[in-house]
């Protein structure tokens, strides 16, 4: 076997494990592979869940998280970090410490504060720590509108009163290079997604709103951005292409259980993929 084959871009994802394969680190691995990347995976939490929601989760000790990450980082060249569910204050501090040791590696963070059904996965104390130690090191933050308001709001402030532009302004002032806010949860006919940097809005994209509920759309979107950045795309172009990939994955999604649909990240390899837009799916 030849040893001269070029390396694919390598992306390290740190996230919780989802036994359904719909979200979490399993979604990251499938998406990154579809982007032509080689995924490395560090487990931050183990969940008990099905396609209807999360029943329980166990956070992995922060030393184990760091040991998992450092072992592969010392062995292989990593082109991007993707961070999902963190699960604890200790893990937030550990991941921030890790990122500070590799400041040249872009960090794409999907702030998983709740499951797709709404199950709480992050407490307010953790959110304060994220603002202080991790967000200042983030290259691209990918919250939905609910997460953006929760991360940006002050303790005595009504989250609903914040505009998304104000949220983005606050989050970029905390140190995020880019904030990409998805509009699935907003009361608009189509889904409106917007990318911001410190100077303001960079791009706005509108996508037809597909019906229903989906499990893992945020993980898919953030991982696609990470994979495309690892392949050398500038952030605005990576965001554009990642949205298209995610929307197609949702359009061709399937319902393996009794709950939400799961994105088909391998839709491009499925000759029998249906073009039925009436499926009960969600949007990026």
Nearest to 222 by CA among 113, 82, 80: 82
Confidence of residue 272 (pLDDT cuts 50, 70, 90): low
Question: Given a cut of 80, is residue 47 above it in pLDDT?
Answer: yes
Q: What is the mean pLDDT of residues 7-25?
A: 97
**What's residue 113's pLDDT?**
79
120 or 12, greater pLDDT: 12
Q: Note the pLDDT tens digit of each residue in 115-172.
A: 444 444 456 788 999 999 999 999 999 999 999 999 999 876 777 789 999 999 999 9
Structure tokens at 269: 């390899």
pLDDT on residue 158? 75
Tell me the whole-structure pTM to 2 decimals: 0.91
- From the CB of residue 3, how many other CB atoms can be counted at a distance below 10 Å? 4
Q: Stretch 82-94: mean pLDDT, rounded?
A: 95
CA pseudo-torsion sign 115, 119, 121, 127: positive
Q: Is the dihedral of CA 65, 126, 79, 205 positive or negative?
A: positive
Query: Rounded to 5 degrees, what are φ and ψ at 196?
Result: -125, 150
Average per-residue pLDDT for the chain: 91
Q: What is the pLDDT of residue 148?
A: 95
Pick the more confident residue, 157 or 260: 260
Q: Of the candidates 130, 117, 108, 115, which has an alpha carbon nearest to the alpha carbon of residue 221?
A: 108
Q: Quick check: 151 and 131 in contact, CB under 8 A?
A: yes
What DSSP letter does each residue of 181-199 carry, written as one string?
Answer: EB-TTSS-SSEEEEEEETT
């Amino acid at each position: 076997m030849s040893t001269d084959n070029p390396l694919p871009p390598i992306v390290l994802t740190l996230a919780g494990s989802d036994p359904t394969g719909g979200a979490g680190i399993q979604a990251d691995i499938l998406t990154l592979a579809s982007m032509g990347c080689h995924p490395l995976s560090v487990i931050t939490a183990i969940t008990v869940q099905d396609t209807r929601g999360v029943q329980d989760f166990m956070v992995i000790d922060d030393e184990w998280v760091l040991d998992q990450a450092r072992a592969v980082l010392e062995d292989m060249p990593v082109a991007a970090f993707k961070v999902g569910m963190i699960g604890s204050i200790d893990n937030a501090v550990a991941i921030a410490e890790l990122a500070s040791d590799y400041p040249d590696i872009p960090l794409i963070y999907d702030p998983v504060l709740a499951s797709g059904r709404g199950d709480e996965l992050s407490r307010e104390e953790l959110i304060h720590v994220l603002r202080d130690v991790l967000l200042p090191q983030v290259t691209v933050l990918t919250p939905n509108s609910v997460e953006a308001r929760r991360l940006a709001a002050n303790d005595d402030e009504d989250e609903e009163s914040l505009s998304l532009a104000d949220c983005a302004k606050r989050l970029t002032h905390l140190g995020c290079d880019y904030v990409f806010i998805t509009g699935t949860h907003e009361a608009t006919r189509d889904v409106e997604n917007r990318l911001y940097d410190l100077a303001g809005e960079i791009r706005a994209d509108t996508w037809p709103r597909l019906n229903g509920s989906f499990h893992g759309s945020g993980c898919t979107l953030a991982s696609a951005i990470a994979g495309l950045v690892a392949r050398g795309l500038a952030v605005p172009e990576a965001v554009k292409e990642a949205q298209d990939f995610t929307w197609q994955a949702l359009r061709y999604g399937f319902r393996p259980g009794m709950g939400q649909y799961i994105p088909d990240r391998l839709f491009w390899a499925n000759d029998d993929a249906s073009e039925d837009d009436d499926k009960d799916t969600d949007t990026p």
